[in-house]
C-alpha cells in the first residue's frame, strides 16, 4: 500500500510549475538510530580518549550541549554557528578538541542511516525533470555532512547543491536561507518544493513565503506517543529508532482510527513480534525443537509472524482455552472450588454452561443472568445464592461427572492428534501458564514436551510453573518485574489486540472420528474489529518489511526495552490510546453474553467524585486491589485529567515521598475553594506541586524562599522573592508551605512575621 506521504509527494511533484525539489537532511533524508540527537554526545563520552578530559559520558554530554549554547550566545550576530565555533567553547587543549571533534563526526557517521524512501523520492524528482537540492539548518559544513551521511546516498550525484546554515550564516527557521535559495537558483517561490520534518522551519515558514511544502513528519497522535514513551522509559535506545520511525511514516491510512492502529502495530507490536519470533527460533537450536504448537487465540499472531521469518518450520495452531481445558482440573469432590472464579463478567448461567449442564433449580433460574461474583450478596431461603448454587452442583454431581469424563476423553484424543512429542513446544501468552499445566496433566508422559514458552510470566506464574521448565520471552528481573506485573494484569488491552476476531474454544466434539473444537465468536467490538485488524496487521507487516530492507538482525531491540514499551501503554496512556483502547468491549473470553467496556462511564463518575491525586496514590500502594475494581484506572484518570499522569512522569522525583506531602496539601486546598495563593518554598516539591495547582486554575501571587534574602532568582518563570517583599503592599493572603521536612520551622517563622507586622496569613501546610 502506498503511504499517505508518498501520495502527497507525487501529487505536488506533478505540478509543472515546480522546477526544484529541496530536501531537509536530518530526520528526513537521514535518521539516527538513537532516540534523541543529543544522545550522540553521551556515546562520544564513552570513548576512552574523551574520558581523559570529561571523566563520565554524561559529563561530556552536558559540556558539549553547553558549548553549543555558549557558541550561539557568543556569536549572536550569526543566525547559525559551526562545529569549530562550538568546540572553541570547550576548556580543553586545542589538540584534544580536534581529536574529540573527529570522534563525534565518526560516531555521527555510524549512527546516521539513509531513508531509502526519500532516496527514492530523489529519483522520482529527477525522472520528472526537476533539479534536486538539499537545505539544512545544521552546524556541520558541507564537507562534514558529506563525511557523516551524504556520501551514503546512492544518488548523491543527482543532488545539484547543498545549502547549509552553518556556511551561509542564515537559517530556514528565520526564512532567510529559503530566500537565499530563491535568489541563487533564480526561481520564484512557487517553483520550489521543500520536504522536511520540522513543522515550523520546514513547513510553516516556507509556506508563508509561498513555497510548496510537504511536512514529512508524525501526526499529533504519534508525536504524543513518542513524548510519553520518552518520559516513561527515561532511557536512550542506541539502535532501531530509525526503523520504527520509518515504518510509521509508511502509514497508508487517512482515517484517524485506521491510522492509529497501523502506527501501534508498526511501532510497538512490530518490534515485539520480530524479536519474539527470533527468540522462539533460537530455542529450536538450543533444545532441538521440531514442532511449535501455538495456543489460540493469541497464537494466531504468534504463528503468523513466526512463519513469516521461518516459513519452513513445522507449526500447529492449538484450539485450547481456560474454558475448554477446565474439565482436566475440575474437582468434583469440592464444588466450592468451581465457584472461586474471579471473572468480572461471568454470570450464573455462564457457570452452568461451562459445566455443560442447564439450570433446572427453580430457585436459581430467576437469577441466571446475575454475576456469579454477586451470588454471595443475594439471599434465598435464609441462605445465600452462592450456597444454593453449591448445593445444586453437589446434587447434580453425576451429571457434571458424566460430561466431564466425556470431555476429558475428547481433550486427550484432540491433543494426541496433534502428534505432540518431547521435541515439541507449546507457546502461550501467559502470564501464569494455566493451560500449559492442564495440557501436561492430560498428555502421556512420553509425549510431554521438555520445555514450554510464555510470552510473559509474573511472580504467580513462576509459582505455578515451578515444577516445569517454562521459559519467558519478556525477561523477569529486578528492573522489569514491576513492568511485567503491569502487562500480566493489564486491562485486557493486549489480549483484545492479539485475539482480534478469533473465536474462543469452548469444548470439543467428535464427528466422523475427528475431534472438532467447538468455538464461539465473541460479540465484542463487532463494529470495529475487522477495520482494526486490517490496519493493525498492516502496521506489523510494514515493520517486518522495513527491517528486511535495512537487513536488521535479531536482538536489535533489547527485551528489557520491549517490556517497558508495552507497560508504558497501560501505566502512561496518551489521550488517544485511552479513547481507542478504552472503548474496547470485553467478555473475558468465556463465551459470556455479558460485555463491559474497558473504561466505562460508571468508573469515570466514581473517580470523579474523589480527589484524583488521593486515588492514584492509594492505587500505586495497592495495585492488586484496584486492578480488579478498575480494569484500567490510569485510563479513567487520563479521561478526567489528560495531563495528570504525564506531569508526574516528567518529574525526576516522581517516585519520591513528595507525592504524599502534595496529596495532603491538595486535600486542604480543595476544601478551602480558594483560587489565589502565595507559595513558600521554591525547591523540588514546588516543581512537583505546580502542575496540580495549574490543573485547578490556581493563581500563584508570589513565590517565596529564604534564599532570596541573598539574591532574587527565577524558578519555572516565577520570580522568587522574600517574605517581606511579598507582603509589602498586601495585608492578608493564603500561603502554601511547599515543604515536608522543614514545615514546622517555616510555619513558626511565618506566624512570627505575621504577628510582628500585623498581617493575616492563612497557612496551608502538612
- pLDDT tens readout for residues 177-220: 999 999 999 999 999 999 999 999 999 999 999 999 999 999 98
Residue 519 lies in a domain: no
Confidence of residue 720 (pLDDT cuts 50, 70, 90): very high
For 206, residues 6+ apart whose C-beta sits below 8 A from its C-beta are 172, 175, 178, 192, 194, 213
- Last residue in a domain, options 168, 184, 218: 218
Residue 607 lies in a domain: yes
Scored b (16 or more CB within 10 A) or e, 79-118 reads bbbbbebbbbbbeeeeebbebbbebbbebbeebbbbbebb
Residue 67 lies in a domain: yes
Q: 442 phi and psi, to 5 degrees?
A: -100, -25
Stretch 486-496: mean pLDDT? 81
Which pLDDT score is estimated for 249? Answer: 96
What is the domain count for the chain?
3
Which pLDDT score is estimated for 443? Answer: 85
Stretch 142-149: mean pLDDT? 93
Same domain, 635 and 758: no
Residue 735 lies in a domain: yes
Q: Which residue has the higher pLDDT, 660 or 743?
A: 743
Same domain, 43 and 174: yes
Give the residue from 542, 519, 528 showing the smallest Cα distance to 496.
528
> Within 10 A of 621 (CB to CB), how many other CB atoms are there?
10
Whether 655 has a pLDDT exceeding 50, the answer reads: no
Distance CA 133, CA 67 (A): 30
Same domain, 639 and 686: no
Placement of cell 518431547 in the chain: 422
Give the residue from 702, 698, 685 showing the smallest Cα distance to 750.
702
Give the residue from 393, 344, 352, 398 showing the smallest Cα distance to 371.
344
Helix 397-417 vs helix 434-442: angle between axes, to the nearest 10 degrees? 90
Which pLDDT score is estimated for 481? Answer: 86
Same domain, 610 and 699: no
Q: Which residue has the higher pLDDT, 473 or 371?
A: 473
Beta strands 424-428 and 452-454, pairing class: parallel
Residue 467 lies in a domain: no
Angle at 449 between CA 446 and CA 454, to 5 degrees: 160
Same domain, 21 and 58: yes
- Last residue in a domain, options 179, 198, 218: 218
Beta strands 315-318 and 291-295, pairing class: parallel
Which pLDDT score is estimated for 239? Answer: 82
Give the residue from 133, 137, 201 showing the smallest Cα distance to 169.
137
Is the bond into 245 cis (omega within 30 degrees of 0)? no
Whether 488 has a pLDDT exceeding 90, the answer reads: no
Confidence of residue 598 (pLDDT cuts 50, 70, 90): confident
- Kindly report the average pLDDT of the chain as a whole number: 89
Which pLDDT score is estimated for 353? Answer: 83
Which pLDDT score is estimated for 99? Answer: 95
Whether 654 has a pLDDT exceeding 50, the answer reads: no
Same domain, 679 and 640: no
Same domain, 9 and 140: yes
Please tell me whether the overall predicted TM-score, pTM, comes out greater than 0.75 for this model.
yes
> Within 10 A of 759 (CB to CB), how many other CB atoms are there?
17
Which pLDDT score is estimated for 330? Answer: 80
Instruction: Report CA torsion sign: 154, 157, 162, 166.
Output: positive
- The burial class, CB within 10 Å (0-12 / 13-18 / 19+), for 729 is exposed
CA distances (Å), origin 168, targets 81, 135, 392, 522, 661: 10, 11, 88, 63, 54
Q: Are 682 and 720 in contact (CB under 8 A)?
A: yes
Stretch 23-35: mean pLDDT? 92
Coil, strand, or helix at residue 396?
Answer: coil
Residue 616 lies in a domain: yes
Which pLDDT score is estimated for 341? Answer: 58
Same domain, 611 and 730: no
Residue 352 lies in a domain: no
pLDDT tens for residues 96-125? 999 999 999 999 999 999 999 999 999 999
Coil, strand, or helix at residue 526?
Answer: coil
Instruction: Find the radius of gyration of the CA atoms of the chain.
Output: 32
Distance CA 7, CA 322 (A): 47
pLDDT tens for residues 420-467? 888 899 999 988 888 888 888 888 888 888 899 999 998 888 888 888
Which pLDDT score is estimated for 216? Answer: 96
Query: Domain span at residue 722?
Result: 658-764
Whether 14 has a pLDDT exceeding 60, the answer reads: yes
Q: Which residue has the higher pLDDT, 103 or 504?
A: 103
Which pLDDT score is estimated for 461? Answer: 85
Same domain, 672 and 613: no
| Helix boundaries (H) for 371-450 | 385-395, 397-417, 434-442
Measured in whole angstroms, the distance separating CA 720 from the mean position of its chain's CA atoms is 37
The full DSSP string for 455-493 is: S---HHHHHHTTTS-EEESS--STTTHHHHHHHHT--SH
Same domain, 734 and 624: no
Stretch 299-326: mean pLDDT? 93
Q: In this structure, what C-alpha cell is assigned to residue 639?
A: 479521561
Angle at 527 between CA 526 and CA 528, to 5 degrees: 95
Same domain, 208 and 84: yes
Beta strands 20-23 and 192-196, pairing class: parallel
Q: What percent of the chain has pLDDT over 70?
A: 97
Give the residue from 703, 708, 655 showing the smallest Cα distance to 679.
703
- Last residue in a domain, options 650, 680, 712: 650
CA distances (Å), origin 759, targets 266, 674, 727, 748, 765: 61, 18, 8, 14, 18
Distance CA 410, CA 407 (A): 5
Residue 28 lies in a domain: yes
Give the residue from 193, 198, 192 showing the smallest Cα distance to 216.
198
Q: What is the CATH number of the domain that holds 736?
A: 3.40.50.720
Q: In this structure, what C-alpha cell is assigned to residue 756?
A: 510582628
Same domain, 709 and 641: no
Is the bond into 431 cis (omega within 30 degrees of 0)? yes
Q: In this structure, what C-alpha cell is assigned to residue 4?
A: 499517505
pLDDT tens for residues 58-110? 889 999 999 999 999 989 888 888 999 999 999 899 999 999 999 999 999 99
Q: What is the CATH number of the domain that holds 114?
A: 3.40.50.1000
pLDDT tens for residues 150-174? 999 999 999 999 999 999 999 999 9
Q: In this structure, what C-alpha cell is assigned to residue 560?
A: 528489557
Amino acid at each position: 500500500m502506498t503511504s499517505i506521504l508518498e501520495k502527497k509527494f507525487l501529487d505536488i511533484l506533478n505540478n509543472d510549475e515546480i522546477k526544484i525539489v529541496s530536501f531537509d537532511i536530518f530526520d528526513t533524508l537521514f535518521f539516527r538510530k538513537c532516540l534523541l540527537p543529543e544522545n550522540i554526545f553521551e556515546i562520544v563520552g564513552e570513548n576512552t580518549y574523551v574520558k581523559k578530559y570529561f571523566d563520565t559520558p554524561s559529563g561530556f554530554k552536558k559540556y558539549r550541549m553547553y558549548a553549543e549554547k555558549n557558541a550561539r550566545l557568543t556569536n549572536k550576530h550569526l543566525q547559525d554557528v559551526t562545529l569549530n565555533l562550538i568546540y572553541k567553547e570547550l576548556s580543553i587543549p586545542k589538540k584534544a578538541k580536534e581529536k574529540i571533534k573527529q570522534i563525534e563526526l565518526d560516531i555521527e557517521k555510524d549512527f546516521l542511516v539513509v531513508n531509502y524512501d526519500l532516496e527514492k523520492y530523489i529519483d522520482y524528482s529527477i525522472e520528472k525533470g526537476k533539479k534536486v537540492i538539499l537545505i539544512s539548518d545544521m552546524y556541520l559544513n558541507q564537507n562534514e555532512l558529506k563525511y557523516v551521511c551524504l556520501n551514503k546516498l546512492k544518488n548523491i550525484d543527482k543532488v545539484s547543491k547543498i545549502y547549509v546554515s552553518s556556511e551561509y550564516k542564515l537559517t530556514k527557521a528565520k526564512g532567510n536561507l529559503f530566500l537565499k535559495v530563491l535568489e541563487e537558483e533564480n526561481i520564484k517561490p512557487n517553483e520550489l518544493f521543500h520536504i522536511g520534518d520540522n513543522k515550523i522551519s520546514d513547513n510553516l515558514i516556507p509556506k508563508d513565503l509561498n513555497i510548496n511544502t510537504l511536512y514529512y513528519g508524525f501526526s499529533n497522535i504519534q508525536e504524543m506517543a513518542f513524548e510519553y514513551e520518552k518520559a516513561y522509559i527515561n532511557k536512550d535506545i542506541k539502535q532501531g529508532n530509525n526503523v520504527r520511525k520509518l515504518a510509521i511514516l509508511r502509514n497508508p491510512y487517512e482515517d484517524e482510527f485506521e491510522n492509529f492502529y497501523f502506527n501501534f502495530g508498526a511501532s510497538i507490536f512490530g518490534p515485539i513480534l520480530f524479536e519474539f519470533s527470533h527468540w522462539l527460533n533460537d530455542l529450536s537450536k538450543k533444545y532441538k525443537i521440531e514442532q511449535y504448537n501455538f495456543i489460540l487465540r493469541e497464537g494466531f499472531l504468534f504463528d503468523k509472524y513466526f512463519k513469516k521469518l521461518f516459513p519452513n518450520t513445522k507449526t500447529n495452531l492449538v484450539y485450547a482455552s481456560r474454558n475448554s481445558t477446565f474439565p482436566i482440573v475440575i474437582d468434583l469432590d469440592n464444588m466450592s472450588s468451581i465457584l472461586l472464579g474471579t471473572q468480572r463478567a461471568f454470570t450464573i448461567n455462564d457457570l452452568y454452561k461451562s459445566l455443560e449442564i442447564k439450570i433446572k433449580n427453580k430457585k436459581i433460574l430467576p437469577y441466571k443472568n446475575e454475576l456469579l461474583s454477586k451470588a454471595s450478596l443475594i439471599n434465598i431461603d435464609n441462605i445465600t445464592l452462592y450456597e444454593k448454587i453449591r448445593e445444586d452442583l453437589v446434587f447434580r454431581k453425576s451429571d457434571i461427572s458424566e460430561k466431564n469424563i466425556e470431555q476429558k476423553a475428547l481433550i486427550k484424543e484432540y491433543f494426541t492428534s496433534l502428534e505432540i512429542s518431547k521435541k515439541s513446544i507449546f507457546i502461550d501468552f501467559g502470564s501464569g501458564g494455566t493451560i500449559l499445566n492442564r495440557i501436561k496433566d492430560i498428555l502421556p508422559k512420553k509425549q510431554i514436551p521438555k520445555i514450554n514458552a510464555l510470552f510473559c510470566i509474573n511472580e504467580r506464574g513462576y509459582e505455578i510453573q515451578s515444577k516445569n521448565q517454562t521459559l519467558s520471552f519478556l525477561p523477569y528481573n529486578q528492573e522489569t518485574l514491576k513492568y511485567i506485573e503491569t502487562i500480566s494484569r493489564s486491562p485486557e488491552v493486549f489480549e483484545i489486540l492479539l485475539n482480534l476476531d478469533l473465536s474462543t474454544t469452548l469444548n470439543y466434539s467428535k464427528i466422523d472420528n475427528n475431534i472438532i473444537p467447538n468455538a464461539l465468536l465473541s460479540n465484542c467490538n463487532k463494529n470495529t474489529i475487522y477495520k482494526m485488524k486490517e490496519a493493525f496487521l498492516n502496521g506489523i507487516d510494514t515493520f517486518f518489511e522495513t527491517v528486511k530492507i535495512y537487513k536488521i538482525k535479531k536482538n536489535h531491540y533489547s527485551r528489557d526495552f520491549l517490556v517497558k514499551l508495552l507497560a508504558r501503554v497501560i501505566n502512561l496512556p496518551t489521550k488517544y490510546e485511552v479513547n481507542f483502547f478504552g472503548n474496547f468491549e470485553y467478555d473475558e473470553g468465556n463465551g459470556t453474553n455479558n460485555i463491559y467496556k474497558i473504561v466505562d462511564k460508571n468508573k469515570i463518575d466514581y473517580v470523579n467524585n474523589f480527589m484524583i491525586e488521593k486515588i492514584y496514590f492509594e492505587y500505586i500502594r495497592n495495585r492488586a486491589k484496584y486492578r480488579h475494581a478498575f480494569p484500567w484506572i490510569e485510563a479513567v484518570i487520563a479521561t478526567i485529567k489528560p495531563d495528570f499522569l504525564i506531569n508526574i512522569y516528567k518529574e525526576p522525583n516522581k517516585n519520591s515521598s513528595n507525592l504524599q506531602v502534595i496529596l495532603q496539601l491538595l486535600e486542604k486546598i480543595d476544601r478551602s475553594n480558594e483560587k489565589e495563593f502565595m507559595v513558600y518554598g521554591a525547591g523540588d516539591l514546588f516543581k512537583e506541586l505546580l502542575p496540580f495547582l495549574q490543573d485547578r486554575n490556581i493563581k500563584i501571587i508570589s513565590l517565596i524562599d529564604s534564599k532570596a534574602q541573598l539574591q532574587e532568582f527565577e524558578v519555572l518563570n516565577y520570580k522568587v522573592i522574600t517574605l517581606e517583599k511579598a507582603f509589602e503592599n498586601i495585608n492578608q493572603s493564603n500561603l502554601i508551605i511547599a515543604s515536608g521536612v522543614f514545615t514546622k520551622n517555616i510555619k513558626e517563622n511565618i506566624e512570627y512575621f505575621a504577628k510582628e507586622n500585623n498581617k493575616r496569613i492563612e497557612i496551608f501546610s502538612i
